[in-house]
Structure 1
Amino acid sequence: MTAALPHADVAPTASVKRRRRAPGWLAVAPLLAFTAVAFGIPALAMLNGAFTVQDRATGTTSYTLGNLTTSLQGPYLTALAGSVKLSAVTAVLGVALGLPLAQAVVSSRSRALRDAVLTGSGVLANFGGVPLAFAFVATLGNAGVLTRHLGLADAGWSLYSFWGLVIVYLYFLIPLMVLTITPALDGLRSQWREAARNNGATTVQYWRHVALPVLAPSLLGGLVLLFGSAFAAYATAAAMVGSTVPLVTLQIADAISGNVLVGQENVALALSLDMVLVAGLVMAVYLPLQRRSARWLDA
C-alpha cells in the first residue's frame, strides 16, 4: 500500500497568515496617511483655534470657551438655526421628490432611459456654485425670463428669499437623492412584491408594510447626505442671496474676512466646530439603522 498523502486543507500557520495579511495593510497605508494629512491636520487646527483667544495688546494666547459661547449667541446663532432649517427642509423635499423619480427609473424597461437619467443625475448633482446661481438669477430673478413672462413678480415671488434658495438647492439635491436611493431600490426583491400580491395586498399596502420599512434606513441615509450637502453649501448662497438669508457658512466667511468685525477668525473656527457637531449628531441617528438596511438588502 502506498503511504497516505497529507491532507490538502491543513490549516496555515500563524506566520503564513501574517504574510498573507501584510500586503493588504500595506495597500491601505497610503490612504490612511493621506486621510491623516488631509483631514487630521485641518481638524486639529480647527479645534485649537476654536478654543484659543489672542490678546492683541500683548500677543499672548490663552485657551477659553469664549469663542464657542459667542458662536451660539446673536446673529451667529440665528445663522446656525437658519442653516439647519434650510438643510432640513431641502433634505426632506429632496427625499420626497427623489424617491418616486428613482422608482420610475428602476421600474422602467428602457435601459437607455435608466442610463440617461442616472448620467444626468450625476452631472446635475455636481452642478452648483456660482454658475448655478447665475442660471437661476437669469431665469427666475427679478428680471429673469420666466419671472417676466409669467408675471411672478406681481404674485410676490422673490428668488432672493428662503424659499427661492430652497428651489435652487433642490436642483442638485434631487439628482443626488436619485443616485443615492437607486441601488437600494434595485435591492428590493421581486419575490416580496409577488408574495404581498398573493396575500391580497394592494400596491399601497406593499409599499407601506414591506418596501418602505426595508428602505427606511437607506432613505434616512439619503436624508443625512442631502442634509450635509445643503448644510455645507456656500458658493451658491453667497452669489445669490448674500446676507439676505442668514446662513452659518456665510457667517464663517464674513468672520474670516473681517467684513463685519475684525479679529473674529477664531469665532469662525468655533462656528465650524458647531457645524461638525451638528453633522455628528445627524450621523449618530443614521448609523445604527444602516445595519438593518444592509441585513435585509444583502439577504
Structure 2
Amino acid sequence: MSTVAQQPDAAMKQRRDPAPAPARWRAGWRRGRQLAGVVPFFAFIAVFLVIPTLVVAIGAFANDDGHPTLDNLSSLGDGYILDAFGRSLWLSALTAVLGAILGALLAYALVTARPDGLLRRLVTSACGVLAQFGGVTLAFAFIATIGLSGFVTLFMQNQLGINIYSGGVWLFDMPGLVLVYTYFQIPLMVIVFLPALDGIRPQWREATASLGGSTWQYWRRVAMPLLAPAFLGSTLLLFSNAFSAYATAAALVSQGSPIVPLQIRSALTSEIVLGNQNLGKAMALGMVVVVAVVMWLYALLQRRTSRWLA
C-alpha cells in the first residue's frame, strides 16, 4: 500500500519540478533561432513599410516649416484632387471586376484540366510571371505593339485599312490604362482564385445530382455561395493592386495627372508649383487609408473562406 501511494506523489512532484537545465537551454536556443530567422523580415517591413508610412502620416499634418497644420488635409477637398481620386477608384474598380471575371473563367478552365497536366502547369507558371510583369516594361510592350507606331497598328493601317486611333490617342489616356491594368489583373486573379476552386469537392456535385438537382441548382445553391467570399476577396485584392499601381501609368501618361499616384508625383517633383511635398504626403495618406480599408475587408472574407477550405 505504501508503494502504491508513493507513486502518485512522485508523479505530481515530477510535474511540479522545473525541466532540467539542458532541456530549458535547448528550448531557449530553439526560440532564439526562430526569432533570429524572422528578424530580417521585420527589418524589411520596418524600413520599407512602417517608416515610410510614419513619414507620410507625419508630413500630412505638417507645413513646410514642420509646424502642425490641417491645411494639407483640407486641400484634399480641391476639385482636381477629388477628380483624381474618383478616376483612381473608377479605374481600380473597373479593372478589378474585369480581371476577376475573366481570371475566374480561366481558373475554372484550369480546374477542369488534369491537376498534373502540362496545360495547367504551363498556364499557372505563365500567370505567375505575367502577374508581376508591370511597370515600364509592360508599358513599353503595349506601346511597341499597339502604340502609334506599333507593329499591330501599322499592320492594321497598311494591310486592313483600319486606324485604331481614328477617335483619338486612347492608349495614353484612361482607356489605355484600363486595357493595360486589366492585362496584369487577369493572371493575378488566376493565382489567388485557383485554390478556392480546387477546394470545391466533386462529392458535393455528386450529392446534388443524387438528390435530383440540376447543374444550375448546384452552382446557385452550393458552389456559388461557397465561392462568393473567395471571389469577392480576390476582387478586393485586385482593386488594391490597381489602386496602388504607379510605374505603368507614369510610363504611359506623359502629360497630365489623371489618377492619384500621378498627382502625388506632380506634387513632389513639380518645378512650377513649389512647396507641395506635404500635399503629396496628404494624398498618399488618403491612398493608405483606402488600401487599409480594402485589405481589412479582404482579411474578413479570407477568414470566412478558410473555414471550408480547411
TM bucket by the smaller chain? 0.7 to 0.9
**How many residue pairs align between the two structures?**
291
Indicate whether 1:65 and 2:70 are aligned. yes
- Structure 1 residue corresponding to 2:108, chosen from 103, 109, 119: 103
Q: SS of 2:134's equivalent? A: coil
- Structure 2 residue corresponding to 1:172, chosen from 180, 184, 196: 184
- Structure 2 residue corresponding to 1:144, chosen from 132, 150, 153: 150
Please give the alpha-carbon distance, in whole angstroms, between the structure 1 residues aligned to 2:149 and 2:44. Answer: 47
Shift of 1:152: 3.9
Identity %: 46
Q: In terms of mean alpha carbon deviation, does 79-88 or 25-34 score higher?
A: 25-34
- Structure 2 residue corresponding to 1:276, chosen from 278, 288, 291: 288
Contact 1:91–1:173, Cα closer than 8 Å, also in 2: yes
Q: What is the aligned-residue RMSD (CA, Å)? A: 2.8
- Structure 2 residue corresponding to 1:112, chosen from 118, 127, 145: 118
Contact 2:60–2:282, Cα closer than 8 Å, also in 1: yes
TM-superposition CA deviations, 1:58-99 (whole Å, max 9, x none): xx4311111111123121221111111100000000000000
Please give the alpha-carbon distance, in whole angstroms, between the structure 1 residues aligned to 2:230 and 2:207. Answer: 22
CA distance 1:198–1:39, change in 2 (3 Å) = same
Q: SS of 1:214's equivalent? A: helix
Q: 2:258 aligns to what?
A: 246
Indicate whether 1:289 and 2:301 are aligned. yes
Q: SS of 2:148's equivalent? A: coil
Q: 1:262 aligns to what?
A: 274
- Structure 1 residue corresponding to 2:167, chosen from 156, 160, 163: 156
Indicate whether 1:22 and 2:31 are aligned. yes
Structure 2: gaps of 5 or more residues: none
- TM-score, reference length from structure 2: 0.84
Please give the alpha-carbon distance, in whole angstroms, between the structure 2 residues aligned to 1:129 and 1:235. Answer: 4
Please give the alpha-carbon distance, in whole angstroms, between the structure 2 residues aligned to 1:252 and 1:262. Answer: 13
CA distance 1:212–1:27, change in 2 (3 Å) = same
Tell me the amino acid that sits aligned with residue 167 of structure 2. G
Please give the alpha-carbon distance, in whole angstroms, between the structure 2 residues aligned to 1:245 and 1:266. Answer: 17
- TM-score, reference length from structure 1: 0.87
Please give the alpha-carbon distance, in whole angstroms, between the structure 1 residues aligned to 2:139 and 2:265. Answer: 18
Contact 2:104–2:190, Cα closer than 8 Å, also in 1: yes
Contact 1:188–1:211, Cα closer than 8 Å, also in 2: yes
Q: 1:194 aligns to what?
A: 206
Tell me the amino acid that sits aligned with residue 87 of structure 1. S
Shift of 1:255: 0.6
Of Structure 1 and Structure 2, the greater helix share is in 2
Contact 2:257–2:266, Cα closer than 8 Å, also in 1: no
CA distance 1:136–1:27, change in 2 (3 Å) = closer
Indicate whether 1:127 and 2:116 are aligned. no
Q: SS of 2:288's equivalent? A: helix
